[in-house]
């Protein structure tokens, strides 16, 4: 029998734990034996629906998920949590993450999505924590793209207050890495989706509508720019890349992407197909319509969903992540659409 004390579980702190990625990452880390601390902001009602599979599993096993209240706009809560938890790994996923909303709340977005990151980094530095730090960077940094596909060396040209706030976070993460020899990295993640995606992002808006229209509970889906192209992957695959980045020998920034791009219109067609409502498209621009199998208009363009400046095309090249980390996506575009539509159909059937 060994006289050595049992090896203590590694501790991870996840900001934004109540969000799409936070919930998948918390599950992954618990599976890997981490003690996970999730930071969530206070709200008048508890907001942990996405964590319910994990909380349910926890009841039967040792508790490995701890939730604590903190806010990226509040230095004192960040410092208190870091000092109490003393994590080995920190995943900064918290953000005002909606691009359209960032045009309506630019200052708030700058504070939480931009300055929130330096609040985290400076607290880690002042407390002299030897923690590794992951920053949730984004393909929105490329904005008006200068090169296709986009890699770690493609210049940035953000197109929204959200993109600008994330550009600050990207740079300040690099600055702390270079200034204080911190293990601090940026994951430049392209769009990733799942049944847990927020309901106002375009993919989930489409899959919920396809399910509701097929069930006779909604008449029409109104969308903005159908031409926009995105490199869409599955969130469950992408959180694995976050973890791999913090296990690497050297702190490096990585693009995480599938290497495929699809238009919003294509996503819509596949989703409505899966719901049993194949669409044909008629007209163009604001007059474009998606017509259902009985000739009824099921999809319309509504300019209220256009953005003041659009990101037209994103497609990432994740060669560095494949070579250094052995990461590649597992879920295909079509599988992703199907699993989101199937989930939304089953939600409707359950109520
Ligand atoms: P999400 O579902 O919108 O989750 C955002 C999380 O941030 C939520 O838990 C939210 O809490 C929390 N949050 C918001 N304001 C906060 C504040 N002031 N203090 C502390 N927490 C706050 O976003 P996601 O899709 O999981 O994305 C995770 C991160 O990756 C974000 O930083 C996002 O910008 C970035 N990212 C996402 C993608 C993507 O395609 N999903 C791609 C690249 C980068 P509430 O639940 O209380 O709202
Ligand atoms: O789903 P979206 O709102 O995602 P967007 O703007 O690409 O941002 C997401 O991905 C980023 C990574 O590149 C993340 F950093 C960010 O946090 C977020 O998770 O919109 C996708 C595209 C846009 O071009 C938008 O104009 O869909 C277009 N679109 C068309 N109709 C719509 C709609 N977007 C939304 N949200 N709603 C519509 O009705």
pLDDT, one tens digit per residue, over 115-124 is 999 999 999 9
Q: What percent of the chain has pLDDT over 90?
A: 93
pLDDT on residue 56: 75
CA distances to 10, 12, 61, 285, 333 from 33, rounded to whole Å, are 8, 10, 12, 51, 30
Residue nearest atom 11 of ligand 2, based on CA coordinates = 191
Question: What are the extents of the domains in the chain?
Answer: 11-194+232-260+314-330, 202-228+263-313+337-350
**In contact, 224 and 302? CB cutoff 8 Å:** yes
Residue nearest atom 17 of ligand 2, based on CA coordinates = 97
* Angstrom distance (rounded) from CA 81 to CA 189: 26
pTM of the predicted model as reported, rounded to 2 decimal places: 0.97
CATH superfamily for domain 11-194+232-260+314-330? NAD(P)-binding Rossmann-like Domain (3.40.50.720)
CATH topology of domain 202-228+263-313+337-350: UDP-galactose 4-epimerase; domain 1 (3.90.25)
In this predicted model, what pLDDT tens digit does every residue of 260-276 receive, in sequence order? 999 999 999 999 999 99
Give the ligand 2 atom nearest the CA of 203.
1
Beta-carbon contacts of residue 80 (< 8 Å; ≥ 6 apart): 70
Handedness of CA 35, 243, 327, 325 (dihedral sign): negative
Joined together, the tokens standing for residue 242 give 């976050």
CA distances to 214, 230, 290 from 293, rounded to whole Å, are 11, 27, 10
Closest ligand by atom to 236 CA: 1
More confident of the two residues 63 and 53: 53
Beta-carbon contacts of residue 5 (< 8 Å; ≥ 6 apart): none
* Angstrom distance (rounded) from CA 216 to CA 340: 19
Residue nearest atom 29 of ligand 1, based on CA coordinates = 93
Residue nearest atom 4 of ligand 2, based on CA coordinates = 201
Closest ligand by atom to 94 CA: 1
pLDDT on residue 55: 80
Indicate if ligand 1 lies below 6 Å from the C-beta of 47.
yes
Where residue 57 falls among pLDDT bands split at 50, 70, 90? confident
Q: Per-residue pLDDT for 7 more than 90?
A: no
Question: What does the DSSP 8-state code read for residue 110?
Answer: I
- Which of 15, 19, 245 maximizes ligand 1 atoms within 8 Å of its Cβ, making it the mutation to test the pocket? 19
Q: Which residues are catalytic?
A: 138, 140, 162
Give the ligand 1 atom nearest the CA of 139.
43
pLDDT on residue 351: 84
**In contact, 142 and 314? CB cutoff 8 Å:** yes
Q: Per-residue pLDDT for 233 more than 70?
A: yes
Indicate if ligand 1 lies below 6 Å from the C-beta of 236.
no
3-state DSSP of 5-63: CCCCCCEEEEECCCCHHHHHHHHHHHHCCCEEEEEECCCCCCCCHHHHHHHHHHCCCCC
In this predicted model, what pLDDT tens digit does every residue of 186-205 receive, in sequence order? 999 999 999 999 999 999 99
In this predicted model, what pLDDT tens digit does every residue of 148-158 receive, in sequence order? 999 999 999 99
pLDDT on residue 61: 63
Joined together, the tokens standing for residue 87 give 């994590």
Give the ligand 1 atom nearest the CA of 98.
3
Indicate if ligand 1 lies below 6 Å from the C-beta of 22.
yes
Q: How far is the CA of 328 from the centre of ligand 2 (A)?
A: 23
Indicate if ligand 1 lies below 6 Å from the C-beta of 259.
no
Residue 12 falls in which region: left (phi positive, over 0), alpha (psi -120 to 50) or beta? beta
Indicate if ligand 1 lies below 6 Å from the C-beta of 256.
no
Closest ligand by atom to 299 CA: 2
């Amino acid at each position: 029998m060994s006289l050595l004390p049992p090896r203590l579980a590694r501790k991870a702190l996840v900001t934004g734990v109540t969000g799409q990625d936070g919930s998948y990452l918390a599950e992954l880390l618990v599976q890997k034996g981490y003690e996970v601390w999730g930071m969530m902001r206070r709200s008048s009602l508890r907001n942990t629906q996405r964590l319910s599979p994990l909380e349910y599993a926890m009841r039967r096993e040792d508790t490995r998920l701890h939730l604590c209240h903190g806010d990226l706009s509040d230095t004192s809560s960040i410092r208190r949590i870091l000092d109490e938890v003393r994590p080995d790994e920190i995943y900064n996923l918290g953000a005002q993450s909606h691009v359209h909303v960032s045009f309506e709340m630019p200052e708030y977005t700058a504070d939480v999505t931009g300055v929130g990151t330096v609040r985290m980094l400076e607290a880690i530095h002042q407390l002299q924590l030897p923690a590794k730090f992951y920053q949730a960077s984004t393909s929105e940094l490329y904005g008006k793209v200068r090169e296709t596909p986009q890699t770690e060396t493609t210049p940035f040209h953000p197109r929204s207050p959200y993109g600008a706030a994330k550009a600050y976070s990207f740079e300040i993460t690099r600055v702390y890495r270079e200034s204080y020899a911190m293990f601090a990295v940026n994951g430049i993640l392209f769009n990733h989706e799942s049944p847990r995606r927020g309901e106002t992002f375009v993919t989930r808006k489409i899959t919920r509508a396809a399910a509701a229209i097929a069930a006779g509970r909604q008449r029409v889906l109104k969308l903005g720019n159908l031409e926009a192209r995105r490199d869409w992957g599955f969130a469950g695959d992408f959180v694995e890349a976050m973890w791999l980045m913090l296990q690497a020998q050297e702190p490096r920034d990585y693009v995480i992407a599938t290497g495929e791009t699809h238009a919003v219109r294509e996503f819509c067609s596949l989703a409505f197909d899966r719901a049993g409502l194949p669409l044909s498209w008629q007209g163009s621009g604001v007059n474009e319509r998606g017509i259902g199998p009985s000739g009824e208009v099921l999809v319309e363009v509504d300019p209220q969903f256009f953005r003041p400046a659009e990101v037209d095309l994103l497609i990432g090249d994740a060669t560095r992540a494949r070579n250094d980390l052995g990461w590649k996506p597992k879920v295909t575009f079509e599988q992703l659409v199907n699993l989101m539509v199937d989930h939304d159909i089953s939600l409707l059937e359950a109520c």
